[in-house]
Amino acid sequence: MVNIGIIGMGRIGKVHLQSITYHVKNACVKAVADPFMNEETKEFVRGMDVGKIYGDYKEILADPEIDAVLVCSSTDTHAAVSIEAIQAGKHVFCEKPVDHALDKIQKVADALAAHPQCKFQVGFNRRFDHNFAAVRRAYDQGKIGEAHVLKITSRDPEPPNPAYIKVSGGMFLDMTIHDFDMACFLTDSDVEEVYVQSAVLVDPAIGEQGDVDTAIITMKMANGALAVIDNSRRAVYGYDQRAELFGSKGMAATSNDTLSSVVISDHQGVTGEKPLFFFLERYMESFSEEMRQFVDACQSGGEVPVGIHAGMQAVKIGLAAKKSVEEHRPVKISELD
């Protein structure tokens, strides 16, 4: 059994607590820490049979019963908390992004190098989505051949509160970061160069915060494949999450998940269900699967499926995308080194 402490009991901390409690048989959440928990959250945590409820995460790090921690607090705390946890000898699952600054992510990598027994996984949960995992499997099985073109469609159902834009690092480091990781995952390659065309077409308040809400991103992958991501902060028909990998031997394409596959035909036309509403609906199973694989790696001593390299790559691509917007030109990832 792997004993877990969760640091940060907001939206995603609660998702992981539920996933582990109900869907991971070889792990148990023993403690949570969050300085700003209200009574309702504490009640929820107690309802999951968690015995230790702390304000300060350091109590989790000092607890010898805890084998692994999940860092689910706000992004600006991830790197520092992860380093402390590694130094305390805990395995770490860190939510994305590890940080917005490459030097801070490098410090996490350095701490890991000094504590090689510690596992460190980054929360790129979409790799564990059944659709995207099947595309990668087809590629690994040679069914696509050499990867030539990857297309990712990633559109949110509604924009975030404009106040969230600044703290989250903006669209590329908060939302598209999942798509950057997906591009690396589906082509099994790093990115070499990024070029972005972007606009504010959904909400002028997002533009006032200095961010964009619509983008077409083209990328040259290190293995020679070309990739394109199209992003919007608002698709009126729901969360639109699709990918298509085309290669020398064929193509693998996904469609959106829906509540049911029913298609209703009547005198007005033929209609089906909208895509599942947002990430909590669409990706719930992927959150459980990433936890199962993290816990398995902690238990077996094997490799984690998404390590610090992937965490660093995605942020580099995000920073390169921002630079491309600012300077209106293609940006090589090596420029950030």
Ligand X SMILES: NC(=O)c1ccc[n+]([C@@H]2O[C@H](COP(=O)([O-])OP(=O)(O)OC[C@H]3O[C@@H](n4cnc5c(N)ncnc54)[C@H](O)[C@@H]3O)[C@@H](O)[C@H]2O)c1
User: Cβ of residue 34: shortest distance to ligand X, in angstroms?
Assistant: 4
User: Cβ of residue 24: shortest distance to ligand X, in angstroms?
Assistant: 16
CB-nearer residue toward ligand X: 13 or 318: 13
User: Cβ of residue 89: shortest distance to ligand X, in angstroms?
Assistant: 19
CB-nearer residue toward ligand X: 18 or 77: 77
CB-nearer residue toward ligand X: 36 or 237: 36
User: Cβ of residue 11: shortest distance to ligand X, in angstroms?
Assistant: 4
Please say whether the beta carbons of 275 and 239 come within 8 A.
yes
Q: How far apart are CA 143 and CA 193, in angstroms?
A: 26
Residues 6+ apart with CB under 8 A from 47: none
Q: How far apart are CA 230 and CA 210, in angstroms?
A: 19
Residues at the contact surface with ligand X, assessed by CB under 6 A: 7-13, 33-36, 57, 72-75, 77, 95-96, 123, 125, 279
CB-nearer residue toward ligand X: 73 or 313: 73
CB-nearer residue toward ligand X: 115 or 126: 126
Residue closest to ligand X (Cβ):
10
Go through 3-41 and write b for each residue having 16 or more CB atoms within 10 A of its CB, e for each that does not.
Answer: bbbbbbbeebbbbbbbbbeeebeebbbbbbbbeebeeeb
Closest CA to 226 of 240, 246, 243: 246
User: Cβ of residue 169: shortest distance to ligand X, in angstroms?
Assistant: 9
User: Cβ of residue 283: shortest distance to ligand X, in angstroms?
Assistant: 6
CB-nearer residue toward ligand X: 67 or 290: 290
